[in-house]
Amino acid sequence: MTAPKPSLELLRALTDENVLRVLMAHDRLTRAEIATRTGISKPTISESVQRLERARLVVDTGERTTGRGRVGSYYALAPHLGTALVASITPQGVVAEAVDALGRTRGQVRTALHADAGQEAAAEALGAAAARLGGESAGPLRLAVVSAADPVDRATGRLVHLPDAPFLVGELDPPAVLAGAVTGPVLVDNDVNWAARAEYEHGCVQGVDDFVYLHLGEGLGCAVVGDGVVRRGHGGLVGEVAHLYTAGPDGQAMAFTEVFAALDLRRNSSTAVDVPKLLDILDTSDTRAERVRLALARAIGGVLSAALAFADPRTVVLGGPWGSHPRLIAAIEEHLARSPRSVPLSAAALTLPELTGARARAVEELASLIVRAAHPTTQW
């Protein structure tokens, strides 16, 4: 809409950005290689590299080309540019990594948590992991991307407790916990959204710009990808399907989460789904189990009718501890075949997908942080 103001500084910034981006894709390159890869002339690249070296964003690695011809110098991103923290918080524990702008993992810390550890323990584990990774890596932790197994408030990054939804990780404020260890922004989103991003980039829906990812585990979650981007809505609560009205076992309209109460599939004194019991039923072949499967398929079919109405996905991905069970998928497909509108289903393909998705975002964000650092004033 609004075109940037033309200026020579803009050109310079563009050249530098091209150089930095290509150095993020290939960790070490000579000036000549940068020139051919970017399509910019060698002299211009030389000037840019000099500029970036003076700004300490790029360094001569000391390595030299071997082979025919004159010896070239390899350049790379400066090592002290820092890393991004990637963290996943689940009831099982905290997994944290540091990644650099090239997407290389520089260290990983795993901390197991007790089943009823509470948010203090989670916060402590996250803080400790950040401190350790920050100490280990060459530069500072410049930003953090956090995945949490609960709804996340889009504005503040804090976890939200919705009525009738299990609160797995609990009242946690990742930006506050990480404020000391991380110098820049802290981006928080729930695990299902990150998992959807991972499936989009590396999993079973590559190239599908519009899809819905339904996560079925202890909690019931969903992610909506529209036009290639994870949609979060006003408060970040897109995909919170617990209160969605759907069809219950006897055809009554009821909230999705109530279906599990009606089927006696909840964990004691909790709104969490009893996953072992449910998996057990999915593996059983008697008529009672069959009835439960039908009821589940019908309830999930109702959820999918809502997904079709509000997201119009090309595909629906089913993930989570019991979501990708073949017998469940078969039952849902059968149900959909009798519905007026249908949609292809596929099973989630990745393990630890939320970390993959969060990592991708972290790398992207770190890259743009570095590029903007080269020309703080120029904007477009």
Partner DNA sequence: CAGTCTAGTAAGGACTCTTGCCTAAAGGTG
Partner DNA sequence: CACCTTTAGGCAAGAGTCCTTACTAGACTG
Applying CB under 7 A, the residues found at the interface with DNA are 5-9, 11-12, 14-15, 30-33, 39-44, 46-48, 65-73
Nearer to a second copy (CB atom), residue 202 or residue 231:
231
Q: What angle do CA 88, 266, 311 make, to 5 degrees?
A: 60
Which partner, DNA, a second copy, none, binds residue 356 by CB below 5 to 8 Å per kind? none
The region that residue 12 occupies, defined by phi over 0 for left and psi between -120 and 50 for alpha, beta otherwise, is alpha
- CB 8 to DNA: min, Å: 4
Options 150, 189, 240, 274; binder of a second copy; rule CB under 8 A: 240
Residue that is written with structure tokens 């919705």 in the block? 162
**Binding a second copy by CB under 8 A: which of 340, 351, 376, 377?**
340
Pick what 201 binds: DNA, a second copy, none; C-beta below 5 to 8 Å, kind-dependent: none
Residue 207 binding result from DNA, a second copy, none, given CB thresholds of 5 to 8 Å by partner type: none
Minimum distance of DNA from residue 2's CB (angstroms)? 16
Q: Which is nearer to DNA, 68 or 288 (CB)?
A: 68
Q: 41 is in the binding site of which of a second copy, DNA, none (Cβ under 5 to 8 A by kind)?
A: DNA
Whose Cβ is closer to DNA: residue 67's or residue 163's?
67
Taking CB under 8 A as the rule, does residue 262 contact a second copy? no
Alpha-carbon distance of 343 to 16, in angstroms, equals 45
DSSP state of 244: -
Q: By three-state DSSP, how is residue 329 classified?
A: helix
Characterize the bridge pairing of strands 141-148 and 105-112.
Answer: unpaired
**Closer residue to a second copy (CB): 94 or 222:** 222
How far is the C-alpha of 329 from the C-alpha of 348, rounded, in Å? 11
Residues numbered 207 to 236 that lie near a second copy (CB under 8 A) are: 208-211, 222, 224, 226-227, 229, 231-236
Q: Is 305 a residue that touches a second copy (CB under 8 A)?
A: yes
Residue 61, token pair as written in the block: 């690695």
* Binding at 2: pick from DNA, a second copy, none (beta carbon under 5-8 Å per type): a second copy
Backbone phi and psi for residue 162, each to the nearest 5 degrees, phi listed first: -90, 150
Give the shortest CB-121-to-a second copy separation in angstroms. 29
Residues 6+ apart with CB under 8 A from 219: 149, 150, 165, 166, 168, 242, 272, 273
Q: Check if the beta carbon of residue 237 is closer than 8 Å to that of residue 156.
A: no
Task: State the Cα–Cα distance between residues 220 and 72, nearest whole angstrom.
Answer: 56
**At closest approach, how far in Å is the CB of 23 from DNA?**
13
Q: What does 180 interact with, of DNA, a second copy, none (CB < 5 to 8 A by kind)?
A: none
Closer to a second copy by CB, 60 or 245: give it. 245
Q: How far is the CB of 306 from a second copy (least distance, A)?
A: 4
Question: Nearer to a second copy by C-beta: 130 or 199?
Answer: 199
Residues 103-142 that bind a second copy (CB under 8 A): none
**Residue closer to a second copy (CB basis): 52 or 87:** 52
* Sign, CA torsion 131/137/143/145: negative
343 vs 179, 222, 320, 337, 359, CA distance in Å? 43, 16, 19, 9, 30
If contact means CB under 5 to 8 A according to the sort of partner, which of a second copy, DNA, none does residue 267 touch?
Answer: none
Give the nearer residue to DNA in terms of CB position, either 36 or 105: 36
Q: At what angle do helices 287-311 and 275-283 cross, to 10 degrees?
A: 110
Q: Find the shortest distance in angstroms from Cβ 58 to a second copy.
A: 16
Helices (H), 83-218: 119-136, 174-178, 191-202
